[in-house]
Amino acid sequence: MQLLYSSAWSQEKEKLKAFKSDINNATITRVENAEKYMEELSSKFLDSIKELEEQRKKNAELENELKSLKESINNINNEQTASIEKRLTELEVKTGKHDFDKLQLEHDKLLSNFNTLSKDYAQAKVMLEQIKLLLMTDYTSRFNSKGTSDNKLKGIVEEINKIQLPKEKPTPSPSPTATPTASPIATSTPSTATNLPKDTSSTATQPEKEENFIEKYPLPARQSFCRQPENLRKFQKECLPYL
């Protein structure tokens, strides 16, 4: 607003240059023009005063609205703060005081136990798969050697095939008796009637490039590992309940 008035006053000063006093050129026309200019300037001045008053009035209204908004915001914040404090007080009364340092220690301990159990569970899954492959190879060899007349062996092989192994498993640790250069044992090819049921549950989930356990560990090593008393006891105690 101040810049606007300054610009208008500069324009008026330019107009005043034409009305400088000149005794030798004092004519009625110049006097009439001066009177006309003064009337115009007075009218503009009154209009400017009115605009200034209106602007002051608008500013006062805006200040009142701003003050009202600030008060409303403060009231809302105070109400919300009081509500939150009330809820916190009620929760403290219900739950009581907690020792957060103690809770943090308990949390860390539980997390450590969970990680340990997760590792043990992963190792158990690997052991279960290895034992299934060992049992499958052993009983398949017996079944092929005796033929289809031994229904007990056939039933055992079918039950082994039904065992569902986990899809995701960590890399098994190598057996101390493993000889990776040996090839699987050769058995006579049975007729169509003596073909064993395929283990679709494990072969369907194994990747194509996954290392073959049977090819990595020969049959004598697997049989020797399974027939050791400590391994049998460990199998009966830890793995047999999951079969």
Please list the pLDDT of the chain residue by residue as tens digits (243 residues): 555 556 666 766 666 665 555 555 555 566 677 778 788 888 888 888 888 999 999 999 999 999 999 998 988 998 899 899 988 888 877 776 667 888 889 999 999 999 999 988 888 888 887 887 777 777 777 666 665 555 666 666 666 666 665 555 444 444 444 444 434 443 333 333 334 444 444 444 444 444 555 566 666 766 677 667 776 666 666 665 555
Give the dihedral of Cα atoms 103, 104, 107, 109; nearest 10 deg: -110
* SS3 of residue 71 by DSSP: helix
- How far from chain centre, in Å, is Cα 28? 91
Q: Which residues, in sequence order, are CB contacts of 229 under 8 Å at separation 6+?
A: none
Written as six digits, the tokens of 184 are 């699987």
Q: Which residue has the tokens 């403290």?
A: 92
Written as six digits, the tokens of 179 are 């000889």
- pLDDT, position 89: 85
**Can you state the angle between helices 219-227 and 100-146, rounded to 10 degrees?**
120
| CA pair distance 106, 102, nearest whole angstrom | 6
| CA pair distance 206, 174, nearest whole angstrom | 19
Q: What's 147's DSSP letter?
A: -
| CA pair distance 78, 152, nearest whole angstrom | 81
Q: Which residues, in sequence order, are CB contacts of 217 under 8 Å at separation 6+?
A: 175, 178, 179, 180, 182
Cα atoms found within 13 Å of the Cα of residue 37, Cβ hemisphere only = 16
